[in-house]
Amino acid sequence: MSDRRLLVVEDESNIAEALSYVLRRAGFVVETVSDGDLALQRLQREHFAAVVLDIMIPGTNGFEILRAVRADPALADLPVLVLTARGQAKDRQLAEELGASAFVTKPFSNAEVVERLCAFTGCSQQES
Amino acid sequence: MLHADFVIIICLIYVAILFSVAFAGDRKARRNPGGWLSSPLVYTLSISIYCTSWTFFGAVGTAARDGFDFAPIYLGPVIVFIGWWVFLRKLVTVGRVHQTTSIADFISARFGKHPGLGALITIVALVATAPYIALQLKALTDSYQVLTHPAGAIVASSTILKPDYSVAFWLAAGLCSFAIIFGVRNLNVNEHHHGVIAAIAVEAVVKLAALLIVGLWVVLSIRGVPAEMFANAPVSLMQPADTFNVRWITLIFLSGIAVVCLPRQFQVMVVENSSERQIRTASWLFPLYLFLLCLFVFPIAIAGLNRLPAGANPDLYVLTLPLQEGRPHLALLAFIGGFSSATSMVIISSIALSTMISNHLIVPLALRFSVIPSASTQSVRRFILNTRRASVIFIVFLGFLYYWLSGTSSALASIGLISFCGVAQFMPGIISGLFWRRASASGVIVGMIAGFILWAYTLFLPSFGGMFFMPLSVIEGGLLGITWLKPYALFGLSGLDPLVHAVFWSLFVNATLLIGISLITEPTPLARLQSALFVDVFRRQTESEQRIMRRTARVADLRQVAERILGPREAVQLFASGQGAKRTVIASDDLLSQVEQRLASHIGAASARSMVSRVVTNETISVQELKRLAGEAEQIRAYSEELERKSRQVEEAAAELASANRRLREIDKQKDEFLSQVSHEVRTPMASIRSFSDILLHDRDMEEARRERFLAIIQNESIRLTRLLDSILHMNQMERGETAWPLELLDPEEALDQALESCEALAHSAGVRLERGQRAGPVQVLGDSDKLAQVFINLISNAIKHNADTAPLVRVTSAVRDGVYEVRIADNGPGIPPQERELIFIKFERGRYAGRSGAGLGLPISRQIVERFGGSLELAEDCKVGAEFVVRLRPVEASRARDVGEDAPPAAAK
């Protein structure tokens, strides 16, 4: 049985709530955090199957977290879905360079986020 | 013979008639300057002063001696007048347009109003004219003596008369008084001498009539049939081969030049000219006059040769022939004719030269050495007039002196042509001045000095035959015995007639130096300007200096100068009209030029410029104007300067473009950032809305409470989105200054209460304690209560939202301190790092602190609103814990508060 624990790093409480709801319904175990520093600590301490990462967050921003994750050998393979309102090409490019597994811009389709995370974690997709 | 007293009485009567004509002319001119006084006929008759006693008596003499040799003296002027279109028209037009006072003024004005040039021309003219005047005095004295000689005409004319210098002296004195009375009455030379000109015209008629009557009498009564008379003519008279040689051509050339360059000719032709119509008529009428004058030259000469004894002086045939035939009254008529020729020449010459002497010698010297009395305006005018009167006396008596010293010398016979050659040295200057833009003052000066020296050396001094200044040894052996310096064979050029030789060398060297030096010298800006005005006189007659010169002078100084020369009445008129009427301290360019022009017509261009320059503080010629005036070679220079200027402009424009480009790129970058920020701010609430609406669409079996919560979120986020868009638009409007809020009196405390109430719920849900501290009493400020409440809500909710303390607290206080109402909103949150203190007030700048505020527009908008109310919003600097924002507004005093309805501060009007 695959690991279904996800970390959602998102400072907008409404978006965090929506994501939690959707992902839980899809069978994931969802933890949310709204601060960059806190998110990095938890990633280093705990085990997650994948991360949903916002870029513009208080504390260490999303790109820095991604860089730190990829720099950590233990986390190098962690699937990271960057979910951001910064939709410009250069942001996407930077995210990919830093090793993001997927790049989704806000507003997002719930189904797409679930689909991507399922693909990363190897779950069979349920009705969303 | 005629009795001396009778002759004198006749002469006095004749002079009295001339006086009355001159007087009437002046009186008529004062009442009505137009009319017959400025008619082409009078103008043409005045030009006939070209025919002096030298030609009146001498033409017959020359014809008797050398046949057709007398003709070139008339042919030269005839050619010049018939071809008037080529040269005379331009000369006269320039002279009229520039209100020239003399030939010296004309040339010096053309060459940059050069004072030295004017002085040089005056001296040359004086030296060349004095002998000529002596010649007139001699003719007058001789003819008087012949007429009154007790031994009879024949004896008198065949013996060498001992000149009666007392007669010459009294004649000279009489001529002086006439010239002074009618010629030097007014300072303004250009205010034509109508009276004198009228008298001169009468004299012209008299001398022509006298010669014609004598001629007719000779033809009709002595010989009867003209053909028979010519048959009896001596062989020597009709030998064309001997006559039409180089000398003949040279004489035509020289007399053509003289009719223009003689100061008296210039005076009547150019200075006294008032319209082109005059010169147009003169172009045919003057040749006709000369033709009539020559008509009986041969008959009289032949009759004289046949009738009078062999030793008789042919120069006096006109007089002696009637005497011989027992017609004393006819002789008296001839005498009056000769008298007319001589007097008119002396009068006009002395007037012309006195103007030149006073304007180009005395006034400039007086200006330089500050001799001109400065006490009153009248004394300056009197000073100048007196110098002119003294000059007249000086000139006539110089002629008398010359006659006295060389009276018995044969030199007088050829002095007319010697004078011609002397004044011919002006010709290269005049022609180049009118037709060659490049001609320069130094070229003219050097050329003229060289020509003058050569003329003196090769013609003038040798003509005394060793009696004066130049010893015979030099004439025959050359200066210091050097043969190629022989006056009559300079540089080995021998075998020529002395006159031809002198004309060739003086004019050749003069013109060559003029051209050569002009080509290598750079004209001054003023000379360049004057050259354009002279050379292109027909193209831009209306162009005047004032548009080109840029000068500055005080009106008071200028007025003083004008009064000194023009006299108070004319000065007042000048300053009261047009430009002068304006009550300014600094004179305009127009006024300056007007004054200078008026002064120039009194004292000549060079002196006028000198006088005006004394009060001018700075003087420049606008380069642009000069360029516009410049032509041909000048234009090339102007073009290249223009090109340089243009290329400089292009470089400047390129630099400007580059910097504008940089600015644009910067703005573009800012715009990109702004759009990126805006899109981010829009995408966040949109993300919530889309996500929740997805959920609601797909989860049909959701419990009611959750569905409602999700719908509420969608609604809230929609509102947030709308508010965001409003803020962006609002911001944009405020930045463009488009928003017009009516400002009203309000109590800010009420707005603050309202804000606190609105934030109560937020604080409660965030677990933040909202503390209401000490508050100010009722106060009045100008503003908009909704906007002010919005500002307070923004600040309080920011403080609540960003407070991460374990015991979060937001404290709101207000007070009136030092007459200023202030609200403080403090929290015990993380505070704002010093480097972000100002950043947070810049839109979309998202520091650590602002990063959480959502739109990133709240603080910038709040600040703009408060500033619009005349207040301020800033971060308190001294807070130790958290952040403290301070809003300050200026309360309106009760007294002003009442009428603020009508008298809103400027901010309201925007």
Residue by residue, DSSP assigns B235-264 as GGGG-HHHHSSHHHHHHHHHHHHHHHHSHH
- Please tell me the predicted confidence (pLDDT) of residue B692: 92
Please, what is the average pLDDT of chain B? 78
Are the CB atoms for B607 and B367 separated by under 8 Å? Answer: yes
- For residues B860 and B815, membership in a common domain is answered with yes
The pLDDT > 70 percentage for chain B reads 78
- Quick one: pLDDT at residue B901? 45
- Nearest chain B residue to A83, by CA: B687
Residue B361 CA to residue B758 CA, distance in Å, equals 100
Contact A14 B713 (CB under 8 A): yes
Tell me which of B384, B408, B432 is where a domain ends.
B408
Going from the C-alpha of B533 to that of each of B524, B543, B555, B592, B600, the distances in angstroms are 14, 8, 27, 18, 16
CB contact under 8 A, B852 and A87: no
Q: Contact A106/B683, CB-based, under 8 Å? A: yes
B228 — pLDDT class (breaks 50, 70, 90)? low
When CB atoms are compared, the residue of A25, A58, A107 closest to B687 is: A107
Contact call for A18 and B679, based on CB within 8 A: no
Indicate if B772 and B691 belong to the same structural domain.
Answer: no
Q: A118 vs chain B: nearest CA distance in angstroms?
A: 18
CB contacts under 8 A, B 6-65 vs A, are none
In whole angstroms, give the CA distance from residue B742 to residue B576: 56
CB contact under 8 A, A22 and B695: yes
Residues on chain A touching B830 (C-beta within 8 angstroms): none
For B485, the enclosing helix (H) or strand (E) is none
Which of the four pLDDT bands, split at 50, 70 and 90, describes residue B152? low
Q: Please, are residues B273 and B95 in contact by the beta-carbon 8 Å criterion? A: yes
More confident residue, B541 or B309: B309
Greatest CA separation for chain B:
166
Higher pLDDT, A103 or B139: A103
> Residue B560 burial by CB count (10 A; 0-12/13-18/19+): exposed, middle or buried?
middle
d(CA B909, CA B655): 40
CB contact under 8 A, B686 and A106: yes
- Terminal CA-to-CA distance of chain B, rounded, Å? 111
Does residue B543 have a pLDDT over 90?
Answer: no
Q: Is the pLDDT of residue B631 over 50?
A: no
Helix (H) or strand (E) holding B822: strand B820-827
| pLDDT of B314 over the 90 cut | no
Model pLDDT for residues B746-789, shown as the tens digit of each residue: 888 888 888 888 888 788 878 888 888 888 888 888 888 888 88
How far apart CA A20 and CA A25 sit, in angstroms, is 8
Q: Do residue B717 and residue A14 have CB atoms under 8 angstroms apart?
A: yes
Same domain? For B641 and B709 the reply is yes
Among candidate residues B519, B542, B565, the one where a domain is terminated: B542
Rg (chain A; Cα; Å): 13
CA angle, corner A104, sides to A102 and A106, nearest 5? 160
Q: Which residue of B has its CA nearest to A111?
A: B694
**Helix, strand, coil proportions of chain B in percent (round to 5)?**
70, 5, 20
Of B80, B423, B34, B95, give the one whose Cα is nearest residue B282.
B80
pLDDT at B541: 42
**What end-to-end distance do the CA atoms of chain A give, in Å?**
20
Query: What radius of gyration, in Å, describes the C-alpha atoms of chain B?
Result: 50
pLDDT of residue B189: 53
Would you write out chain A's pLDDT as a tens digit for each of its 128 residues?
A: 457 899 999 988 889 999 999 999 988 999 999 888 899 999 989 999 999 999 888 778 889 999 999 998 888 889 999 998 877 788 888 888 998 999 998 899 999 999 999 988 887 655 44
The SS3 call for residue A118 is helix
Nearest to B330 by CA among B340, B338, B319: B319
Is the CB of B683 less than 8 angstroms away from the CB of A87? yes
Q: How far is the C-alpha of B716 from the C-alpha of B686, rounded, in Å?
A: 11
Is the same domain home to B674 and B657?
yes
- Chain-chain contact of B699 with A25 (C-beta, under 8 angstroms): yes
- pLDDT bracket for residue B237 (50, 70, 90): low
> Which whole number is the average pLDDT over B240-245?
63
| B723 and B826 inside one domain | no
Pairing mode, strands B769-772 and B809-817: parallel
B contacts of A107 (beta carbons < 8 Å): 683, 686-691
Determine contact: A13 vs chain B, CB below 8 A.
no
Domain count, chain B: 5
Question: Closest to B851 (Cβ–Cβ): which among A58, A106, A128?
Answer: A58
Lookup result for tokens 């002064």: B599
Q: How far apart are CA B509 and CA B501, in angstroms?
A: 12
C-beta atoms of B698 and A128 within 8 A: yes
d(CA B863, CA B682): 22
Containing A10, the helix (H) or strand (E) segment is: none
CA-wise closest residue to B119 among B418, B347, B366, B345: B366
- If asked whether residues B567 and B506 sit together in one domain, one would say no
B765 to chain A: which residues are within 8 Å by CB?
Answer: none
Give the CA angle between residues B84, B89, B93 to the nearest 5°.
165
Residues B278 and B155 in one domain: yes
- B258 and B114 within one domain: yes
User: Chain A neighbours among B 286-345 (CB < 8 Å)?
Assistant: none
Query: What's the pLDDT tens digit per position in B568-602?
Result: 777 777 777 654 455 566 677 677 777 777 777 77
A15 and B687 within 8 Å at the Cβ level: the answer is yes
Model pLDDT, residue B776: 84
Q: B66: which 2 tokens? A: 């050398």
pLDDT (tens digit per residue) in B500-521: 888 888 999 999 998 998 888 8
**Residue B360 contacts by C-beta under 8 Å, 6 or more apart in sequence?**
B102, B104, B105, B108, B115, B118, B119, B121, B122, B604, B606, B607
Residue B699 contacts A, CB cutoff 8 Å: yes
User: B751-758, long-range: CB within 8 Å, 24+ apart, which pairs?
Assistant: B751/B785, B751/B788, B751/B789, B751/B792, B752/B789, B752/B792, B752/B812, B752/B814, B752/B823, B754/B785, B754/B789, B754/B792, B755/B789, B755/B792, B755/B793, B755/B796, B756/B792, B756/B796, B756/B812, B758/B789, B758/B793
The answer to whether residue A110 neighbours chain B at the CB level (below 8 Å) is yes
* DSSP label of B294: H
Q: Which residue of A has its CA nearest to B854?
A: A12
Chain A touched by B688 (CB under 8 Å): yes
Q: State mean pLDDT over B439-462.
A: 87
**Greater pLDDT, A97 or B546:** A97
The answer to whether residue B638 scores a pLDDT higher than 70 is: no
Contacts of A109 in chain B (CB under 8 A): 690, 694
Cβ atoms B491, B484 nearer than 8 A: yes
Residue B240 has pLDDT above 70, yes or no: no
Q: Is B661 on the interface with A (CB under 8 A)?
A: no
Measured in degrees and rounded to the nearest 5, phi and psi for residue B738 equal: -90, -25
Closest in B684, B692, B694 to A106, CB measured: B684
Sheet of B884-889, strands arranged across: B769-772, B809-817, B820-827, B884-889, B872-875
A111/B691 CB distance under 8 A: no
Query: Which residue of A8, A12, A13, A14 to mutate against B (max B Cβ within 10 Å)?
Result: A14
Average pLDDT over residues B290-313: 80
Q: Which residues pair with A52 in a beta bridge?
A: A8, A81
Tokens for B603, please give them. Answer: 């004292």
Check whether residue B561 and residue B435 sit in a common domain. Answer: no
CB contact under 8 A, B695 and A110: yes
Do B336 and B463 lie in a common domain?
no
Q: Is the pLDDT of residue B889 over 60?
A: yes
Sheet (strand B586-587) strand order: B586-587, B549-554, B616-621
Q: Which residues pair with B820 in a beta bridge?
A: B817
Query: What is the three-class DSSP state of A105?
Result: strand
Of A17, A85, A88, the CB nearest to B684: A85
B842 touches chain A (CB under 8 A): no
Quick: pLDDT tens for B794-831: 888 888 877 777 888 888 999 888 888 999 998 888 77
Q: Parallel, antiparallel, or unpaired for β A102-105 and B781-783?
A: unpaired
Q: Which residue of A has its CA nearest to B846?
A: A56
**What pLDDT is recorded for position B852?**
43
Reported confidence tier of residue B690, pLDDT bands at 50, 70, 90: very high
Taking the Cβ of residue A17 and every Cβ of chain B, the question of whether any pair is shorter than 8 Å is answered with yes
Asked if B691 has any chain A CB less than 8 Å from its own CB, the reply is yes
Predicted confidence at residue B774, as pLDDT, reads 87
Q: Does A110 sit within 8 Å of B694, measured CB to CB?
A: yes
In the numeric block, which tokens belong to residue B549?
A: 């010169």
B503 and B496 Cβ atoms separated by less than 8 Å: no
Q: Which residue has the higher pLDDT, B676 or B135?
A: B135
Q: Name every residue whose Cβ is closer than 8 Å to that of residue A80 and which is 6 or more positions away in sequence.
A: A50, A51, A53, A66, A69, A99, A100, A101, A102
The answer for residues whose C-beta is within 8 angstroms of residue B462's C-beta and 6 or more apart is B470, B475, B487, B488, B498
DSSP state for residue B524 in the 8-state scheme: P
Domain span at B749 = 744-909
Q: What is the CATH number of the domain that holds B902?
A: 3.30.565.10
State how far the Cα of B350 lies from the Cα of B659, in Å rounded to an integer. 73
pLDDT number for residue A21: 92
Task: Look at B687 and A106 and tell me if their CB atoms are within 8 Å.
Answer: yes
Identify whether residues B536 and B598 lie together within a single domain.
no
Cβ partners under 8 Å of residue B186, min gap 6: none
Q: What is the pLDDT of residue B850?
A: 43
Cβ distance of B690 and A86 shorter than 8 Å? no
Count Cβ–Cβ pairs < 8 Å, chain A vs chain B: 67
Tell which of B736, B761, B791 closes a domain: B736
Distance CA B495, CA B808 (A): 129
d(CA B716, CA B689): 9
Same domain, B570 and B647: no
The structure tokens listed for B335 are 């005498």
- Whether residue B671 lies within 8 A of chain A, CB to CB, comes out as no
Instruction: Provide, as residue numbers in chain A, all residues whose Cβ is less than 8 Å from the Cβ of B691.
Output: 15, 18-19, 22, 107-108, 110
Would you call A22 an interface residue with chain B, using a CB distance cutoff of 8 Å?
yes
Place B226 in a pLDDT band, splitting at 50, 70 and 90. Answer: low
Residues 6 or more apart in contact with residue B859 via CB below 8 angstroms:
B794, B798, B840, B841, B850, B853, B873
The pLDDT value given to residue B234: 59
CB of A73 less than 8 A from some CB of B: no
Chain A positions in Cβ-Cβ contact with residue B681 (cut-off 8 Å): 85
Which position has the higher pLDDT, B87 or A113? A113
Cβ separation A108–B690 shorter than 8 A:
yes
CB contact (8 A) between residue B686 and residue A107: yes
- Identify the CATH number of the domain defined by range A5-121: 3.40.50.2300
Give B545-588 as a 3 state SS string.
HHHCEEEEEEHHHHHHHHHHHHCHHHHHHHHHCHHHHCCCCEEC
Q: Count of alpha carbons within 13 Å of A88, Cβ hemisphere only?
A: 12
pLDDT at residue number B764: 82
* Identity of the residue in A11, A15, A105 whose CB atom sits nearest the CB atom of B688: A15
At which residue do the structure tokens 């003058």 appear?
A: B452
Q: How far is A53 from chain B (nearest CA, A)?
A: 14
Give Cβ neighbours of residue A117 (< 8 Å, ≥ 6 apart).
A6, A23, A26, A28, A50, A52, A79, A81
Pure H helices in A11-61: 13-25, 36-45
Task: Tell me if B691 and A25 make a contact (CB, 8 A cut-off).
Answer: no
Instruction: Confirm or reject contact between A21 and chain B (CB < 8 A).
Output: yes
Residue of B444, B500, B398, B530 lying closest to B120 (CA atoms): B444
**Which residue does chain A place closest to B847, by CA atoms?**
A58
Q: A15–B691: do the CB atoms touch at under 8 Å? A: yes
- The verdict on A97 touching B (C-beta cutoff 8 Å) is no
Q: What is the pLDDT of residue A32?
A: 93
